[in-house]
Amino acid sequence: MSLFSVHTLGCGSARPSLRHHPSSTVVSHRGSLYMVDCGEGAQLNFMRQRLSFARLRHIFLTHLHGDHVFGLPGLVGTIALNGTGGDLTIHTFEEGRKQLKAIFDYFCRDTPFEIKFNVIEPREAVILETKNLTVRTIPLKHRVPTVGYVFEEKPGQRHINAEMTRFHEVPVYMMNNLKAGADFVRPDGRVIPNEVLTTPPSKALSYAHMSDTMYMPELAEKIGPVDLLFHETTYLEEHAAMAAPRGHSTARQAAMVARDAGAGRLLTGHYSSRYNDDTPFMKEAQEVFPNVILNREGLVTEV
Cβ-in-10-Å burial (0-12, 13-18, 19+) of 301 comes to middle
- 151 neighbors 27 (Cβ within 8 angstroms): yes
CA distance 71 to 1: 28
Phi, psi of 183 (to 5 degrees): -80, 170
227 tagged catalytic: no
| Active-site hit among 67, 212, 227, 278 | 67
C-beta contacts of 231-237 below 8 A and 24+ residues apart: 231/257, 231/258, 231/266, 231/267, 231/268, 232/269, 232/270, 233/268, 233/269, 233/270, 233/271, 233/281, 233/285, 234/13, 234/270, 234/271, 234/272, 235/272, 236/275, 236/280, 236/281, 236/284, 237/284
262 has which bridge partners?
none
Phi, psi of 86 (to 5 degrees): 85, 160
- 233 neighbors 250 (Cβ within 8 angstroms): yes
CA distance 46 to 49: 5
Residues carrying an active site annotation: 67
